């Protein structure tokens, strides 16, 4: 494999897909991979914390295993950022504040709030990244899609929340309000990230060898995200 001047671990320009030879697009891809990587790292930390609230040992073990699966997704993203010539940790730094603030504003008070947050909040982020993936070069698209695979957490959360609501119906009202709060906070922080990172905003417009996303398509994407959120809340037995 040819080596670039930047070092043996950085892809030479002739090794990159056409889209990634565009510096603006490459910057946007590095930003996207960095925010996903930091999100997965945050998910790992949160699941470890949620495991401490688990009412049973088998629940604690299940969340610990899920946390390990989230952590395993980080290294391929870091490797790809480095291959594109970026410093993975510098690339993740701009997203610390927004993501950390989201988690600070949505710290669960108990086990069930933690499950709803993981299911609703993480799924919203995954849906958004899957939507963006349609506008990426094939290699980056495949990496993003593989990084946002839902795993076993969804079924685990749905089973436990529905059982809890069946045993304690008033719990459903509290958790429905909690789910709405998570949605609102997630949208607020997503808008903040988009405003701060021009490259990410420009990513959806199009570029070298790629289609763009017009305003009508953007509206349809937001509608799909909202509909999926409502469907997931319904899966939990909650009103959106």
pLDDT of 208 strictly over 90: no
In a domain, 10, yes or no: no
Per-residue pLDDT averaged across 154-177, rounded?
A: 93
d(CA 89, CA 188): 24
In a domain, 223, yes or no: yes
Per-residue pLDDT averaged across 192-215, rounded?
A: 65
The pLDDT value recorded for residue 5 is 45
Between helix 170-196 and helix 111-133 the angle, nearest 10°, is: 40
Count up the domains in the chain and report the number.
Answer: 1
- Please give the residue range of the domain that contains residue 116: 19-235
The pLDDT value recorded for residue 211 is 57
Question: Would you give the DSSP letter of residue 20?
Answer: G
Q: What is this structure's pTM?
A: 0.84
Residue 161: what are its φ and ψ, rounded to 5°? -70, -45
In a domain, 14, yes or no: no
The pLDDT value recorded for residue 89 is 96
Q: Which residue has better confidence, 221 or 102?
A: 102
Q: Which residue has better confidence, 103 or 8?
A: 103
Helix ranges restricted to H, 93-214? 96-105, 111-133, 138-147, 153-167, 170-196, 198-203
In a domain, 4, yes or no: no
CATH label of the domain that carries residue 129: 1.20.1260.10
Q: Which residue has better confidence, 50 or 89?
A: 89
Q: Which residue has better confidence, 7 or 38?
A: 38
* Mean pLDDT value across the chain: 84
CB atoms within 10 A of CB 58: 9
In a domain, 80, yes or no: yes
């Amino acid at each position: 494999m040819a080596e670039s001047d930047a070092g043996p671990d950085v892809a030479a320009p002739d090794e990159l897909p056409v889209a990634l030879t565009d510096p603006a697009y490459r910057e946007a891809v590095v930003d996207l991979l960095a925010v996903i990587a930091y999100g997965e790292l945050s998910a790992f930390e949160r699941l470890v914390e949620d495991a401490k609230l688990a009412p049973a040992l088998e629940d604690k073990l299940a969340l610990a295993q899920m946390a390990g699966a989230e952590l395993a997704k980080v290294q391929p993203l870091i490797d790809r950022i480095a291959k594109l010539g970026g410093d993975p940790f510098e690339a993740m730094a701009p997203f610390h504040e927004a993501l950390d603030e989201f988690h600070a504003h949505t710290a669960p008070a108990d086990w069930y709030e933690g499950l709803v947050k993981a299911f609703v909040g993480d799924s919203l982020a995954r849906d958004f990244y899957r939507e963006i993936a349609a506008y990426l070069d094939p290699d980056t698209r495949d990496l993003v899609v593989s990084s946002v695979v839902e795993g076993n957490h969804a079924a685990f959360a749905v089973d436990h929340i529905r059982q809890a609501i069946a045993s304690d119906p008033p719990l459903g009202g509290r958790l429905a309000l909690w789910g709405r709060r998570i949605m609102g906070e997630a949208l607020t922080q997503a808008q903040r990230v988009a405003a701060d990172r021009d490259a990410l905003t420009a990513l959806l417009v199009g570029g070298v060898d790629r289609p763009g996303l017009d305003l009508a398509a953007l509206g349809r994407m937001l509608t799909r995200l909202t509909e999926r959120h409502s469907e997931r809340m319904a899966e939990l037995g909650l009103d959106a």
